[in-house]
Amino acid sequence: MFIEKFKNNGKDYLRLVHAVRKPNKNGDMVSTKKVLLNIGPLDRFDDGLPDYVVRLKKSFKAGSPLIPSLEPYCASGKMAETYRLSFSEGSPECFGHPKLFSHVLLERILEELGLNTFFSSYKGFTKIQYDVYGFAKLLIFGRLLNPASKSATVRQNGDYFEPILTQCNPDNVFDTLDFIHDNKDKIIRRINTNLVKKAGRSPEIVYYDVTNFYFEIPGPDDDVSDGDGNVIEKGLRKMGVCKEERKLPIVQMGLFMDDGGIPIAIESFPGNTLDHLTLRPALEKNIDGLEFSRFILIGDRGICCYPNLLHLKDAGNGYIVSKSLLKSTKKEREWTYRDDGYLSVSDDFKYKSRIVKKTVKDENGNKRTIEEKVVVYWSRKFQLRAERENKKFLDFLKKLQEHPENFRITATQSKSLRKFFKKECVNEKTGEILDSTKIRALLDFDKVAEYRKSLGYYQIVTSELTMEAQEVIDKYHGLTQIEDQFRVMKGDLETRPLYVRTPEHVTAHLLICMIALIMLRVIQKRMISSGNVQPDPDAYWSTGLNGHRLQEALNKWKVDLLPGELYRFMDVDDPDLKLILDSFDISIPAKLYRKAELKSIKTGIKIFM
């Protein structure tokens, strides 16, 4: 239902019409207009101010029309329109087939990220014949709404209010994965450029962490070698330390996030790549070329090595990273455990810091002298948590120390004790049962005591010499929130790529999951910024709705076709869905809708405030 200006004998008139579809004489459905109200000549109502018709249309849409005769037809009116629906027994119209409508919001987010123009322009440039953007939308929407295999995701095409693909060869979904892989860096750059321009992204803090995904396959991928046996391409799915403790091939994934919890970039690595070896390649490929101002990278001790940290400093950036206390020098540990210099925040928390000079090696093996601030702190909460999480192992160590003769330890069991072995007693080649009478000689109980003593203590090193120690600690703690994003990826988005196997398709799949996570975080942040959700003061990145509830709410936003080409919305009064709609100022009045009205909803959605 909309206001239309038309000419009659050369004079401008106004009328209220709505679009309907009727069969023509050939039986084909065609669009036409039905006049609901002849308002009258324009000059009768024009107030002389600019853009009267535009203002009239906006006022009508808002429910407060400039012309009083339109009030009964507004959504806020008592009886805007009376609907007469006719069903015949046996008619297919007796069955409802609700279709997803939430993709209109998701598509607007993709447009604001610049991906619509990216895919369309590259399609023309490469002369791709299939609808590469349509397939990409299906993959991204499906990952966020209903994660499934690639083929099953293509079959979801008919689940949307208007199918995303009009014609498709299902096999083109794998061609789309190839396209996404080949243009990964360009896609990441396009997204970040638009987030900088439209969302004001200018991260002062960049978080980095590594996770991995396992594959249920018989064995790891083989390396590709040349005729001389030199490895020219490493296999991607390799045996490594799985975060989920599965003895299966894995793929490592490094993820960068800004200080608002929105992903910046991802990079994939063979599963046997150590965490600290992922950072520099990931920085060089994804971050160094972005137009970011100086930032501080925050990471855990897995990436704390000086070639990485000097790479950051040489690029004009900074770092805040944790460092293993047990792997530090004896003098560093002694300084940590001494009571002098500590500032007590409470009986449960204390910290101290100092600036040190040290000689380290850069990525080329050259020695360099640097200054950095070392911050150490002790937390009773962290100590109790560590004792609780390791209680079984700590009790085992205690019993082993008191009565070693009562224990027989296999090589498999000894893996838990590896960090307490005396080097001169370790036999790494055999798997036989170790002689329990020699356990006391095998284990270094000084190391066990050191381990117990370290519980509750943390060490952080930073390039920010003037930053207050408490601020260093607070900023570092934000890194824990990146684990929540990994949980969303592995849980709600079901990122673990069960149904792709080539390195190109695995990389494309991970990028699709990252885009879906960005969209989810954009929605969550809008809910917070709109004021409809109170932020959690104890959370670094408040979310409004968690990933699972948001996913469920978006799946409830559907429309159902009724006789007479009328549509009704489903479940828009659901509290979670209403929260999303209100956050984006999407108004769904209680009425039935025509197709043209449904299409107009998308155009009014503003993503970034």
Render pLDDT for 581-597 as a digit per residue (tens, 0 to 9): 999 989 888 888 888 88
pLDDT band at 391, cuts 50/70/90? confident
Q: Does the pLDDT value for residue 43 go beyond 80?
A: yes
pLDDT, position 49? 87
Domain-located, residue 418: yes
For the segment 333-349, the average pLDDT, to the nearest whole number, is 90
Most confident of 126-140, 288-302, 480-494: 126-140
Q: Which residues contact 4 (CB under 8 A, 6 or more apart)?
A: 14, 15, 16, 17, 33
User: Domain boundary at 454, 481, 505, which?
Assistant: 454
For the segment 201-215, the average pLDDT, to the nearest whole number, is 88
Domain-located, residue 75: yes
Residue 27 DSSP symbol: S
Contacts 24+ apart (CB under 8 A), 7-13: 11/41, 11/42, 11/43, 12/41, 12/42, 12/43, 13/38, 13/39, 13/40, 13/41, 13/42
For the segment 373-384, the average pLDDT, to the nearest whole number, is 89
* Contact (Cβ atoms closer than 8 angstroms) between residue 156 and residue 113: no
pLDDT, position 364? 86
More reliable by pLDDT, 415 or 492: 492
Q: Does the pLDDT value for residue 573 go beyond 60?
A: yes
pLDDT, position 494? 79
* SS3 call for 32: strand
* Contact (Cβ atoms closer than 8 angstroms) between residue 2 and residue 596: yes
Token representation of residue 466 = 């003037």
Q: Which range marks the domain in which residue 40 is found?
A: 2-82
Q: Does the pLDDT value for residue 122 go beyond 90?
A: no
Q: Smallest Cα–Cα separation from 43: which of 13, 23, 9?
A: 13
User: Domain boundary at 51, 82, 113, which?
Assistant: 82
Domain-located, residue 477: no
Domain-located, residue 198: no
pLDDT, position 191? 94
Residue 160 DSSP symbol: B
Q: Which of 126-130, 322-326, 392-396 has the lowest mean pLDDT?
A: 392-396
Say what percent of the chain tops pLDDT 90. 34
pLDDT, position 541? 64
Q: Regarding beta strands 11-23 and 2-8, do their DSSP bridges make them parallel or antiparallel, or are they unpaired?
A: antiparallel
Q: Smallest Cα–Cα separation from 480: which of 379, 574, 345?
A: 379
Judge residue 574's burial from the number of C-beta atoms within 10 Å of its C-beta, 0-12 exposed, 13-18 middle, 19 or more buried: middle
Which tens digit of pLDDT belongs to each residue from 330-339?
899 889 989 8
Q: Which of 8-12, 32-36, 236-240, 526-530 has the lowest mean pLDDT?
A: 32-36
Domain-located, residue 55: yes
Q: Smallest Cα–Cα separation from 503: which of 284, 271, 283, 278?
A: 271
Q: Regarding beta strands 296-299 and 558-562, do their DSSP bridges make them parallel or antiparallel, or are they unpaired?
A: unpaired
pTM: 0.78
Token representation of residue 79 = 């009886």
For the segment 257-283, the average pLDDT, to the nearest whole number, is 90
Contacts 24+ apart (CB under 8 A), 605-609: 605/104, 605/105, 605/108, 607/108, 607/109, 607/112, 607/198, 607/522, 607/526, 608/112, 608/198, 608/199, 608/526, 609/526, 609/529, 609/530
Taken as a whole, the chain contains a residue count of: 609
Domain count, the chain: 2
* SS3 call for 540: coil
Q: Smallest Cα–Cα separation from 505: which of 149, 133, 170?
A: 149
Alpha carbon distance 161, 151 (integer Å):
20
pLDDT, position 296? 94
More reliable by pLDDT, 435 or 220: 220
User: Domain boundary at 454, 475, 505, which?
Assistant: 454
Domain-located, residue 415: yes
Alpha carbon distance 541, 484 (integer Å):
10
pLDDT, position 551? 93
CB atoms within 10 A of CB 498: 13
pLDDT, position 22? 64
Q: How does DSSP assign 437-504, residue by residue? A: GGHHHHB-HHHHHHHHHHTTEEEEEES-TTS-HHHHHHHHHTTHHHHHHHHHHHTTT--S-TT--SHH
* SS3 call for 420: helix
> What torsion, rounded to 10 degrees, do the Cα atoms 547, 551, 557, 559 define?
160
Alpha carbon distance 300, 580 (integer Å):
34
Residue 162 DSSP symbol: S
pLDDT band at 17, cuts 50/70/90? confident
* Contact (Cβ atoms closer than 8 angstroms) between residue 315 and residue 297: no
For the segment 345-370, the average pLDDT, to the nearest whole number, is 90
Helix, strand, coil % over all residues of the chain, rounded to 5: 40, 20, 35
- Mean pLDDT, the chain, integer: 84
Domain-located, residue 436: yes
Q: Does the pLDDT value for residue 471 go beyond 90?
A: yes
More reliable by pLDDT, 371 or 87: 371
Q: Bridge partners of 208?
A: 256
Domain-located, residue 518: no
For the segment 38-43, the average pLDDT, to the nearest whole number, is 88
Most confident of 72-76, 79-83, 187-191, 225-229: 187-191
